[in-house]
Amino acid sequence: MRALLAGLASLAGAWGVLGLISRPIPDALRTVRAAHRAREAHAAGAHGAVRCVPSRPDISAGLAGARVTVSPGPGSRDASPATQISLLGAAADELTHVTVMGSRSGAHSGSLLAYSQGDGASFLPARPFVEGEQVSVHATLTSAGTSTPFAWGFTVAVPDRAGVAGGSSPRARKPSDYQSFHSRPDLKPPTVTVTAHAPGASPGELFLAPYSGPGQYGPMILDESGRLVWFKALAQGTRAADFRVQSYGGAPVLSWWQDPLIANGSSKSGLVIADSSYRTIAVVRAGNGYQPDLHEFQLTPQGTALITVFDGIDCDLRSVGGPADGAVADTLLQEVDVKTGLVRYEWHSLDHVALSESYASARHSSQLKPFDYFHINSIDVQPGGDLLVDARNTWAAYDVAGKTGKVRWRLEGKRSSFTMGAGTRTAWQHDARRQSDGTITFFDNGASPSVHRQSRAIQLALDTQRMRATLVREDVHATPIVAGSQGNVQTLAGGDWLVGWGEVPYVTEFAAAGVPLFDAHLPAGYESYRAYRLPWSGHPPGRPALAVGARSGAPLLYASWNGATAVSSWRALVGASAAALSPSTTAPHTGFETTVALPAGAGPYAAVQALDATGAVIGVSAAVRLPSA
d(CA 449, CA 428): 9
Q: In what order do the strands lie in the sheet with 419-420?
A: 419-420, 468-475, 456-463, 440-444, 430-434
Which pLDDT score is estimated for 175? Answer: 84
Q: Are 489 and 507 in contact (CB under 8 A)?
A: no
Say if residues 190 and 523 touch (Cβ distance below 8 Å).
yes
pLDDT band at residue 602 under the 50/70/90 scheme:
confident
Is residue 34 over pLDDT 60? no
- β-bridge pairing 468-475 and 419-420: parallel
Cis peptide before 125 (omega within 30 of 0): no
CB within 8 Å of 222: residues ≥ 6 apart: 192, 205, 206, 207, 208, 228, 229, 520
Instruction: Please give the share of the chain, as a percent, with pLDDT higher than 70.
Output: 90
Please give the single-letter amino acid code of residue 214.
Answer: P
* pLDDT tops 90 at residue 96: yes
* Local confidence band at 11 (pLDDT 50, 70, 90 cut-offs): very low
- Mean pLDDT is lowest, of 151-165, 172-186, 338-352, 375-389, for 151-165
Q: What digits encode the pLDDT tens for the residues 478-509?
A: 999 999 999 999 999 999 999 999 999 999 99
- What type of residue sits at position 249? G
Strand, coil or helix: what is 264?
A: coil
Check if the beta carbon of residue 187 is closer than 8 Å to that of residue 38.
no
Q: What is the pLDDT of residues 255-306, one digit of tens each?
A: 999 999 999 999 999 999 999 999 999 999 999 999 999 999 999 999 999 9
Cα angle vertex 406, ends 133, 142, to 5°? 75
Calpha distance 274→256 (Å, rounded): 9
Q: What pLDDT score was predicted for residue 601?
A: 82
Least-confidence region, from 11-15, 54-58, 455-459? 11-15
Contact 311/330 with Cβ under 8 angstroms? yes
Convert the pLDDT of each residue in 371-421 to its tens digit.
999 999 999 999 999 999 999 999 999 999 999 999 999 999 999 999 999
* pLDDT at residue 106, as a whole number: 98
Report the DSSP beta bridge partners of residue 609.
Answer: 571, 620
Selected from 3.30.930.10, 2.60.40.10, 3.30.56.10, 3.10.105.10, the CATH number assigned to the domain covering 545-625 reads 2.60.40.10
* pLDDT at position 172: 63
Q: What predicted TM-score, i.e. pTM, was given to this entire model?
A: 0.91
Give the residue, 14 or 149, on which the prediction is more confident: 149
Query: What is the per-residue pLDDT for 162?
Result: 63
**Per-residue confidence at 166, pLDDT binned at 50, 70, 90?**
very low
DSSP per position, 67-101: TEEEESPTT-S-B-TT--EEEESS-GGGEEEEEEE
What is the reported pLDDT for 174? 86
Contact assessment for residue 563 and residue 230, using Cβ atoms and an 8 Å cutoff: yes
Q: Where are the alpha helices (DSSP H) in 67-211?
A: none
Q: Which among 421, 412, 398, 424 has a CA at the least distance from the CA of 468?
A: 421
Alpha helix positions (H), 421-487? none
> What is the gyration radius of the CA atoms in the chain, in angstroms?
28
Specify the 3-state DSSP secondary structure of 5: helix
| pLDDT score recorded for residue 12 | 32
| pLDDT top residue among 177 and 173 | 177
- pLDDT band at residue 457 using 50, 70 and 90 as cut-offs: very high
The stretch 68-95 carries a mean pLDDT of 98
Using a pLDDT cut of 90, give the percent of the chain over it: 86
Torsion of CA 391, 394, 395, 401, to 10 degrees: -50
> Rounded CA gap, 207 and 218, in Å?
11
At residue 32, what are phi and psi to the nearest 5 degrees?
-60, -40
One-letter amino acid for residue 94 of the chain: E
| Segment 35-57, tens digit of pLDDT | 444 444 444 443 468 999 999 99
Q: Tell me the backbone φ, ψ of residue 266, rounded to 5 degrees.
A: -120, 150
Q: Distance between CA 186 and CA 235 in Å, rounded?
A: 12
For residues 270 and 80, give the distance between their C-alpha atoms in angstroms, rounded to a whole number: 18
Please give the C-alpha separations between residue 417 and each of 345, 383, 394, 466, 622, in angstroms, as whole numbers: 26, 20, 14, 10, 64
> Looking at residues 122-141, what average pLDDT do you find?
98
Q: What is the pLDDT of residue 171?
A: 60
CB 413 within 8 A of CB 394: yes
The DSSP element (H or E) to which 12 belongs, if any, is helix 2-15
More confident residue, 252 or 163: 252
pLDDT for 43? 44
Mean pLDDT for 591-620 is 95
Mean of the pLDDT values across residues 510-514? Answer: 96
Please compute the mean of the pLDDT values over residues 447-464 and round it to a whole number: 96
Does pLDDT of 613 surpass 70? yes
Q: Which among 313, 213, 232, 307 has a CA at the least distance from the CA of 269?
A: 307
Q: Are 171 and 215 in contact (CB under 8 A)?
A: no
Element (H, E) at 38: helix 27-44
Identify the DSSP state of 541.
S
Find, among 435, 457, 433, the residue nearest to 446 by Cα. 457
- Residue ranges per structural domain of the chain: 545-625
